[in-house]
Amino acid sequence: MRLILLGPPGAGKGTQATFIKEEFRIPHISTGDIFRQNLRDNTELGQKARVYMNKGKLVPDDLTIELVRDRLSREDCKYGYLLDGFPRNLVQAEALSQFLEERGESLDAVIDIEVDKNSLVERITGRRMCKDCKASFHIHNYPPREEGKCDHCGGELYQREDDREETVLKRIGVYEEETSPLIAYYDRQGKIQKINGNASMEDVKAEVLEALREI
């Protein structure tokens, strides 16, 4: 199954991705996670990406597209994958279409998680991530059992550099301008599955899994 997760920052894509990955046993490929790992490892790619990420801007398309092509060509993606955070604009979407066409493959669905804009800032600024297993928590909506510590692996929780309010507003703006046109793009291909992301995490999960079982 080849899937894309669309939705503004704070829609809960990472959380739902974990459920989808477990249910359908496909790799979860988050370009944001890959960039953050490169930032931590201080690779050349990480150094290039840092300036854009810390301003809430998109990393240039050539870097991002090459990274994704490379990742999707690996053995574990042979029977499918879940893309989270890619594509982010029409150039990236076209590059993905070309990649799929070259391999005689196609997408199965694009899940679009819709959330009221007003709740996004609160959702993101309260978010805390595990340094080790990347699990996501929220200080009010989904607190860890022990403050600052991951429920799953005991790793240290931290706030992403780009989850601070000024950057969040910028990222939401970038989503509206550059990424949201992809909803119409994939709708024309009959791939969009709209999900109400304002419901509880469990209800969103149920809706997502039901939609995917039906495709």
Residues noted as catalytic = 13, 88, 127, 160, 171
Question: Could you say whether residue 8 binds ligand AMP (CB under 6 A)?
Answer: no
Q: Which residue is nearest to ligand AMP (CB)?
A: 32
Question: Could you say whether residue 7 binds ligand AMP (CB under 6 A)?
Answer: no
Task: Give the C-alpha distances (Å, rounded to integers) separating 185 from 16, 57, 178.
Answer: 22, 22, 12
Q: C-beta of 207: minimal distance to ligand AMP in Å?
A: 21
Question: Is the CB of residue 178 less than 8 Å from the CB of residue 58?
Answer: yes
Identity at 73, one-letter amino acid code: S
Q: Which of these segments, 86-94, 99-107, 110-118, 145-153, binds ligand AMP (CB under 6 A)?
A: 86-94
Binding residue for ligand AMP, selected from 20, 56, 95, 150, defined by CB under 6 A: 56
Q: C-beta of 57: minimal distance to ligand AMP in Å?
A: 6
Binding residue for ligand AMP, selected from 23, 27, 46, 52, defined by CB under 6 A: 52
Residues 9-48 that bind ligand AMP (CB under 6 A): 9, 31-32, 35
Question: Could you say whether residue 58 binds ligand AMP (CB under 6 A)?
Answer: yes
Question: Could you say whether residue 162 binds ligand AMP (CB under 6 A)?
Answer: yes
Find the distance separating the first CA and the last CA of the chain, reported in whole Å: 10
Which residues sit at the interface with ligand AMP, rule CB under 6 A?
9, 31-32, 35, 52-53, 56-59, 64, 85-86, 88, 92, 162, 171
